[in-house]
Amino acid sequence: MAEDKEPRYDPAVIEPKWQERWAADPGLYAADPVDSGKPKYYVLEMLPYPSGQLHMGHVRNYAIGDALARQMWMRGYNVLHPMGWDAFGLPAENAAIKNNAPPREWTLTNIAAMKRQFERLGMGFDWSREVTTCFPEYYRWNQWFFLRMYERGLAYRKKSKVNWCPECATVLANEQVIDGRCWRHEDTIVEQRDLEQWFLRITAYAQELLDGLDKLQGWPEKVRTMQRNWIGRSEGTEVDFFLAEGIEKGIGTREDGSGKTRIRVFTTRVDTIFGATSVQLAPEHPVVVALAAEDSGLRKQVNELIEEQKKAREAGDVGEIEKHGIPTGKFAINPYSGELVPIWVANYVLMEYGTGAIMSVPGHDERDFEFAKKYAIPVRRVIASADPNAEETALPFVSEDGVLVNSGEFDGMACSDAQKKLQEVAAREGFGEATVTFRLRDWGVSRQRYWGTPIPMIHCERDGIVPVPDEQLPVILPDNVEITQQGGSPLGRVPEFVDVTCPKCGGAAKRETDTMDTFVDSSWYFYRYTDARNSSAPFDSAVVQHWFPIDQYIGGVEHAILHLIYSRFWTKVMRDLGLITNDEPARRLFTQGMVIKDGHKMSKSRGNVVSPDDMVARYGADATRMYALFASPPDRDLDWQEDGVAGVSRFLGRVYRLVTRYASQARAGRGQMLATPASGTALKLLRKLHQTVAKITMDFEGRWHFNTCVAAIMEFVNEVQAADAQLAAGEIPAPVVHELLRTLVLLLAPFAPYIAAELWGDLGEDGAGAVLRTPWPPSNPDLAREDELEIPVQINGKLVSVVRVAADAGNDAVQAAALADEKIRGRIAGKTVAKVIVVPRKTVNLVIR
């Protein structure tokens, strides 16, 4: 029985109404207590930086997570789905300079605006657990962790060369320097400065961070590869050459080097060491510094090399530097052969990598060959082809597939065997060892900024560095600090902050004025969500143990390296502090694609930004969210098309009219059993329904092709609409109408929560959160099964006809049906059927001649 008036889908009316009801029910999206008895599911999207505006990339990220959270709620899980704010960071300071407003005020205003956007979009977050990283109740635990790391030698201070962005007026991490320029200031060349800096010893976990990647099967392979490369493990050997004091002879002289100054070199090819014809040192190597101290001519040349390196670093192309070196006139002794080789200083050897010294083997290394040619340094073969009949290989011969020659007692050994043997000799004789080196560097966390977590340290003239005692935490970031771009930390200009009493001697002392890298904040925030209001500990370990690891973490691939390596490191440190038992933060990771428009990532400078607020105002939150899921598979880039949003909105309008038109029929069938099994159109619709349920359920379990889920719902709705005449005439039994419409609403609920809530009421159900608490519909495989299948028949790869066969027909029956088809018979008449290939339930291929 049709309703009299044609109802109109108006999200501008429906959505605010439900938003208000949901807001009045703080328990709606709250996780149950840990002893609820339900299986737990922790789904998390990366927390945003509070810039003041959600962008479409956010909407997509959160629409994916929210759909998953809602479906898991319906499946009966105890779902934890929190949200917070990565609230420290440079933009707040820049805005403060621009608008003359304190960073805190600016940040909190932005948070309020973005929270309104989240609520308008209908995101199901548990706001009772909101974490705001710029609040002292959060960052005090950054300080607490820092102190624990300091106690264990995992936080330390050293003078180091740092990347300095003059525009940011602060230090940048290596990974924030892109092609020698600042990641935030594409036109600003990063300078090198020497500064005392705080570091976290992430390298202590390098091997474990690497090994752990093999176990993270639920992470995208590309992310694991990026992390492997970032950690950059390489095996090699460290060998001591000895400084030949007072000897100034030519190459080839032999000398016993015992007791002399050692020059430790790192090499991945110790098997070529008999081919070393020079040793190359970094300009800042201690031996060079010592030699230069006694030789003003050398000193001048070395300083030039240092200058060249500095320029190359600033331009970001140390690897591309024009190789340049100077002989020192001194010699080093090869510990294996006793041979004297000249010591050079080279601009391409960096003190901060490896040992700052290399052996140069021009016969078996491209770079060394190039250098030797330039300076007429001898080139010697020490590796030959393993095949004695092979032609002599050209030099440099860099393959490890060979045998040693001109290498004394090691002649004839295969390269890999020789490497092991030479390592054994070095260890036995005490002049070297097998080593593993990593590309990964310790994490420099010092920032000369205001808007970050103060590092809880005090500098005392008598006691040196004194940690702030736990009971004095948090070290509060003062308000009313003048932000300028003078360089140095703005906190250094606040005497009330800087001048303190030394906790050790009681004398006057100075507070550390650096603040922490904001990647510290995001390294453990997801643990805090589990116990967000704890004021005596970062969290309760038992509660974390219940929720961790995160079952599904969702965010942009741009966080594949830094955020995810730092948070994996933090997890391991917390485990070793005895606070948690999990080794990794997240079981599964999903990285969604970018949102692009007109071929480019949306950005203000390109002027191709689509505002979520505009879309919501025009088409509603449901259509905006659903389009973000429908327009492409979530792991691919999404090309934003406003037509597409309009199309989804029209589809939701059709759903709305369909359900409201037949809601009274559905209500009449509620709770009733069918007197006789469904047949005809009713059966066909039920079959389509259960096929759709099966498909969507399966997609939620891992494939996440939400675009095809939405498409499947559209197809189902089309089929129901095609039966409109029968529905209007009351020919579809009421219990079937009820099942069709009720299940349709449940299927829509994860993707379009507002319209689902509205229609749920029309079907006679009620309660603001009722859809969320209703079990996800089961798929009945008996109903979903087709009794007939349509099988395409191809001849020589071209589609010719389609035959209908029983769903359980065997291959012979399918082949017979294909050969009996009229169109097929016409085509094969007078020809030879050479082959028939039946792909069960899919196709029949005929090969004819």
Binding residues (CB under 5 A) for Zn ion: these are 165, 167-168, 182, 184-185, 460, 462-463, 502, 504-505
Task: Report the SS3 class of residue 381.
Answer: coil
Task: Report the SS3 class of residue 725.
Answer: helix
Amino acid letter, residue 475: V
Burial of 56 (0-12, 13-18, 19+ CB in 10 A): buried
We find the least distance from the C-beta atom of residue 176 to Zn ion, in angstroms, to be 8
- Give the residue with the Cβ less far from Zn ion, 187 or 822: 187
- Give the residue with the Cβ less far from Zn ion, 345 or 468: 468
- Give the residue with the Cβ less far from Zn ion, 408 or 488: 488
Tokens of 681: 């159109």
Residue 422 phi/psi, 5-degree rounding, is: -65, -35
Tokens of 771: 């859809």
We find the least distance from the C-beta atom of residue 316 to Zn ion, in angstroms, to be 14
We find the least distance from the C-beta atom of residue 447 to Zn ion, in angstroms, to be 12
- Give the residue with the Cβ less far from Zn ion, 189 or 847: 189
We find the least distance from the C-beta atom of residue 504 to Zn ion, in angstroms, to be 4
- Residue partners of 730: CB distance under 8 A and separation at least 6: 1, 665
Contact indicator for 209, 568 with CB cutoff of 8 Å: yes
- Give the residue with the Cβ less far from Zn ion, 190 or 210: 190
Distance CA 659, CA 738 (A): 10
- With vertex at residue 735, the alpha carbon angle to CA 731 and CA 737, rounded to the nearest 5 degrees, is 60
- Give the residue with the Cβ less far from Zn ion, 183 or 375: 183
Distance CA 525, CA 521 (A): 6
- Give the residue with the Cβ less far from Zn ion, 444 or 585: 444
Burial 149-162 (b: 16+ CB within 10 A, else e): bbeeebbebeebbb
H/E segment holding residue 508: strand 508-511
- Give the residue with the Cβ less far from Zn ion, 94 or 355: 94
User: Could you give the count of Cα atoms lying within 13 Å of 311 in the half-sphere of its Cβ?
Assistant: 10
Amino acid letter, residue 721: Q
We find the least distance from the C-beta atom of residue 462 to Zn ion, in angstroms, to be 4
We find the least distance from the C-beta atom of residue 96 to Zn ion, in angstroms, to be 16
Tokens of 8: 């109109």
We find the least distance from the C-beta atom of residue 293 to Zn ion, in angstroms, to be 35
- Give the residue with the Cβ less far from Zn ion, 464 or 671: 464
Distance CA 570, CA 565 (A): 9
Q: Which residue has the tokens 């200009």?
A: 493
Please say whether the dihedral angle defined by the alpha carbons of residues 827, 828, 834 and 835, taken in this order, is positive or negative.
positive
Q: How far is CA 539 from CA 27, 48, 536, in A?
A: 21, 22, 8
- Give the residue with the Cβ less far from Zn ion, 184 or 381: 184
We find the least distance from the C-beta atom of residue 508 to Zn ion, in angstroms, to be 9
We find the least distance from the C-beta atom of residue 531 to Zn ion, in angstroms, to be 36
Q: Which of 666, 134, 190, 164 is nearest to 453 (CA)?
A: 134
Q: How far is CA 261 from CA 240, 244, 245, 344, 526, in A?
A: 9, 8, 8, 16, 51
- Give the residue with the Cβ less far from Zn ion, 202 or 460: 460
We find the least distance from the C-beta atom of residue 589 to Zn ion, in angstroms, to be 29
Residues forming beta bridges with residue 240, ordered by sequence position: 264
We find the least distance from the C-beta atom of residue 171 to Zn ion, in angstroms, to be 10
